Every structure is written in C-alpha cells, then in structure tokens.
Structure 1
Amino acid sequence: MTSATLNRKSRIPIFIGLCILAASILYPVFFLAIAAFRPRLDYLRDPLGFPHEWTFANILAVWNGYGAGAAFLRSLLVVSTALVIVLVFAILAGYALAKFNPPFAKVITGSFVSVMLVPGQVLILPIYLMLSAVGLVGSYASVILLYVATSLPFAVFFLSLSFRSLGDELLDAARVDGAGFFRTLVQIVIPMAKPSIATLAVLQFLGMWNELLYALILLPDDSKRLLTPALSMIGEKLVNNQPLVSAGLLIAASVPLLLLSLTSKYVVEGISIGSSK
C-alpha cells in the first residue's frame, strides 16, 4: 500500500537503505563461507581478503575429526521430531481455539501469552529437577519434551490468530458437503493457512536448532551432544584456528539457510498476512 503511493524518486533512498542493510547481513555470511574453505596459513596472510587457495579439509576435519557430523545428525533428528509434534498439536489446538470457541478460550489464550513472557533461564532449575525425577536427563526425550513444551504456547497462539482470519463460509460449505473435522482440517484449513504454518515451522526450527543452554545441561554426555553444544566445545579448543571454527559454523548454518531458501516465499507471505492483522 505504501510503496504504491510513493513516486520513483521517493523510492530510491528506501532502495539504497535496503541494499545497505542486505549487504550488512550478507557479508558476514560470505566471509564465513570463504573462511571455511581457506587453509589456515592463507587466512593468516590476509584474513579479510579473497582466498588464494581453496580446500575442503576444514569441513572434513570438523565433520569427521571433531564429531560435528554425528552431532549434526543427532540435532536434525531431535529438532525434526520436536517440530513435527509441535506443529501437529499447534494446528489442532489453534484451530479449536479459533473456530470452536471452547469454554475459557480467552483464559487459555491469556495463559499462553503469560507463559511466553517468562524468561527461559528462570525455568532451568525446575525443569532439570522434574526431568531428573523421572529419569529423563541424559536422554534425547528430555530435550524433545522441553522443546515441545516451550514452543507450544507461541505456536498455538500464532496459529489461532491465523485460523481466525479464515472465512467461515468455506468451512460451513464443507460441513454441508459432509466433511468431518479432520477432512475439513486437512483439505481446507491447512492448505489455506500454509503460509502461516510455514512461517511458524521456520521460526520454531531456527529456535530449536540454535538452542544451546538446555541442550548442554540435559545432554551432558559428549557422545549425545547436539550440534550447537558440540560446536561450542570445538570453538573453545580451536579459538586460534578461525578456518576450522568457520567450517563448524557453516555446517550449523547450512540447514537453516537451506530451509529459508526453500520456504522464503511462504515466510514472506505469512509475515505480510500477520502484519496486516
């Protein structure tokens, strides 16, 4: 709406500002990528310059020699499992809150907002004691349960707002045609809310993938470390070897970058829908 009312000259400063902002974001990623493929001596000669030599040795060393490969696969399994559980429950609960007006719906929504305002650091001790009491500390189930529990309030709140914007006419027509709850949800609601669901999935995945504190506390065994804690340990050992550190960070960033590139269309659409509400 705003861009359509601006003339060409007024758009030029905005375009320049966006280009500068994009460059400030892309350059660190570019620097990380080229540093990961440079030999250490080449990097020390000119840390900010363009590499004279290229090598995959850093990636292979971090992946195989320092255990980042196994940690990467463990993180992918844990985060994917938690994300699927969060999306399933968030879609069901968000749809119910938005379209079925259950008793105490406002109280439930308000409780979700209240939980989101609680700092995660406050919950470290009670969460650890609860999981330790049931013998889950040191298992992947503890991290999955934690990610699901801490992600659901925002996920349900986010999707309930998105589902409220869906017209009731299509849902009523589906009921008249004999569609049940799950058929309506799968064939009508989810396809119509695909941008919002994709946006939520990306946000939740990034939060889980980059989480460090709980993954470090709940999985103290080195053989079960997830990627972010494993890289933090590697970074302490290789603080003077920037190419190896960059290789580890590039491995960690590869999945989020791939996910964002595949879902960017839906994410932009979902953000634009959310900003218009």
Structure 2
Amino acid sequence: MDSPGKKLTGRGLSLLGKLILLGYAVGTLYPLYWLFISAFKTNEDFFNNPYALPKAWMSENLFRAWDLGDMGRGMLNSTLVTVTSVILTLVLGLLAGYVLSRFKFRFKKVVVVLFLAGLLIPIHSTLVPLFLMMKEVGLLDTYGALILPYTAFELPIAIFLAMGYMASIPKEIEEAAMIDGNGWWGIFGRVIFPLCTPIIATITILAFLRFWNDFSFALVFINTQALKTLPLSLALFSDGFGTDYALTMGAMAIAVIPTIVIYLILQDQIMKGMVAGAIKG
C-alpha cells in the first residue's frame, strides 16, 4: 500500500506535468490568437497596442484584403494545386509503402535507401535545375509546375510513414482476405487501405501544410496572375516602401482558416489505432 507521502508526491508531479502542458499549449496557441486580434486593428492600433484587444474592431480589413489581394482566385488556385498534390502523394505513397513493407524482392534495400535519400535533399537548392527543366518541357507557368515538384518532394516522408505503419499490420489479415478470394489489389483496397486511416490523416496534414503555405516554388515557377496561389496574394500587401499591417494580418487570418479546419477534421484519426483489436487471439 502506498504511503501518503508517495501519493502526495505523485499528485504533485501530475500537477506539474499538467501545468507544463498547459504552458506549452498557451505558448503554441497565443501566436494564433495574436494574429486574429491583429487582423481587426488599424495600423496605428497595431503599433501602439500590439498585444491588446482592438480599440475598434475593423472587420472591413478582411473584406478589403480579400478584394485587393484577389484572394478568391488565390485560394481557388491553392486549393486545386494542394488537393491534387495531396491525392497524388497519398496514392503513390501508400502503394509504394505497401510494396516495400509486404513484398521481398532483389535490391529492395537499395530502393528503400533511394526513396529515403529524398529526405536529405535541400528542397530550395533544386529551384534553378527545376526551373530550367520545366522550361524545356513546357511546364513552366502551369499548375503542373507546382503539382509535380510538391508530390515528388513529399513522397519520401509519405513512403517512410506508410511503410512503417503497414509493417505493423498483422499478415494474418491478408491471408484471411486471400482465402476469401481477394487478389493483391483487392487486399490493398478492401483491407489495408481502410486500416490506414490514421497514417493517411498524418500524411494529409503534413502535405497540406507544406503545399498550402509554399511561397518559393510558386514565386519562381508561376508568373501569370490568374495562376498565382494564396501565398503570392499575401505578398501583394508588402512592397519595397512599406507594409500595410492591418490588411496583411487580415489576409493572413483568412489564409490560415483552411489549415485550422483541415487539422480539426483529421486530428482524431492520427491518434486512433485502427489495427488494434483487428485480430483476436
């Protein structure tokens, strides 16, 4: 039986842990809170009272930012590029992860190393070679100029995560599905894919954040105004002479909303163990 001293010590450590987590949560969420209150301030209020609530809530900042930055078109382009890139990343990443985690073949380790070596490539060091390559093949200033590099650079982490997750799925599930008459495609589509919901959510969130917030690739590969993505729309509020912080904060508040929504939708799936309890001994 535990002594009262040990119980008090355990409660104290538990309380300390909760306080640390609370402090971490506040520190993580405060920049988001600051962004949203700043979006409703005037420039004068922004500089004079950077951390206080707005003296007057300027909701017109959001509407002006939307119109002046042509954010509707930018959001549409970002959505098209991001969704297409995420789908391609998921399809190719899950298929490659399934093959590498389930099948044995010659040079498998070499293939795995080549895929994972992509994690070591500094993405921005490839901007010039990619620019020249896309110019030669006629992809420059198209949606493909963003979709293809996004997918290629996200595939290594997607394959790494998918491969590790699928390796933990008991092979008895596949054997049972094969006895029921399923081929490899049937096993993947009807058994493995539904069990991969948590890792799909993780890959989706990581890819979405990278694609949605990318600025450098869009800046280099896109010149046509009609194809500009949301980060390029945000850049319009700053020039060489100054920055309109009221409109910039308003535009950033609009741009961050889809990211928050996607995260809130998928956060539960990351924590769920879809395989747990699939096989009962």
Q: Shared fold by TM > 0.5?
A: yes
For 1:168, give the aligned amino acid. Answer: K
* Residue 170 (structure 2) pairs with residue 149 (structure 1): no
Q: Which residue of 1 aligns with 2:28?
A: 25
For 1:64-143, list aligned pairs within 5 A.
64-143=67-146
Match for residue 55 of structure 2? 52
Match of 2:267 in 1: 264
Tell me whether 34-43 or 63-72 shows the greater mean CA deviation.
34-43
Match of 1:37 in 2: 40
Structure 2: 5+ residue runs without aligned partners?
1-8, 277-281
1:170-181 correspondence runs (5 A): 170-181=173-184
**1:90-123 alpha-carbon deviations (Å, 9 max, x no partner):** 1111111111223322111101121210111221
Overall identity of the aligned pairs, in %: 29
- Aligned-residue Cα RMSD (Å) equals 2.0
1:143/1:252 CA distance change after superposition, 3 Å: same
What is the CA–CA distance in structure 1 between the aligned matches of 2:138 and 2:187, rounded to whole Å? Answer: 40
Aligned residue in 1 for 2:229: 226
Q: By how many angstroms is 1:54 displaced?
A: 2.1
CA contact (8 A) 1:239 1:245 kept: no
Q: Aligned equivalents of 1:178 and 1:23: distance in 2?
A: 53
| 1:134 Cα deviation from its structure 2 partner | 0.4
For the residue of structure 1 that corresponds to 2:139, the secondary structure is coil
* Amino acid paired to 2:255: A
Q: 1:179-218 alignment to 2 at 5 Å?
A: 179-218=182-221
Where does the alignment leave 5 or more consecutive residues of structure 1 unmatched? 1-5
1:129, CA displacement in angstroms? 1.1
Contact kept? 1:87, 1:155, Cα under 8 Å:
yes
Q: 1:155 to 1:21 in 2, by over 3 A?
A: same
- Separation in structure 2 between the aligned mates of residue 240 and residue 151 of structure 1, nearest angstrom: 33
The whole-number CA distance in structure 1 between the counterparts of 2:242 and 2:218 is: 22
CA contact (8 A) 2:237 2:247 kept: no
Q: How far is the alpha carbon of 1:45 from its aligned partner?
A: 4.9
Distance 1:210 1:156, change over 3 A: same
Contact 2:237 2:244 in 1 (8 A): no
Give the conservation status (yes or no) of the 8 Å contact 2:201–2:267.
no
Residue by residue over 1:179-217, the C-alpha shift from the partner in whole angstroms, topping out at 9 and shown as x without a partner, is 122222122112212111110110011111111111110
CA distance in 2, matches of 1:8, 1:202: 36
Please name the residue that 1:242 is paired with: 245
Q: How many corresponding residue pairs?
A: 266
Does the CA contact (< 8 Å) of 1:96 and 1:102 recur in 2? no
Q: Does 1:163 find its partner at 2:166?
A: yes
Q: Matched residues in 1 for 2:270 and 2:76: separation?
A: 25
TM-score where L is the length of structure 1: 0.89
What one-letter code is carried by the residue in structure 1 that aligns with 2:156?
A: P
Structure 1 pair 195–239 and aligned structure 2 pair: CA distance change class (3 A)? farther
The normalised TM-score by structure 2 is: 0.88
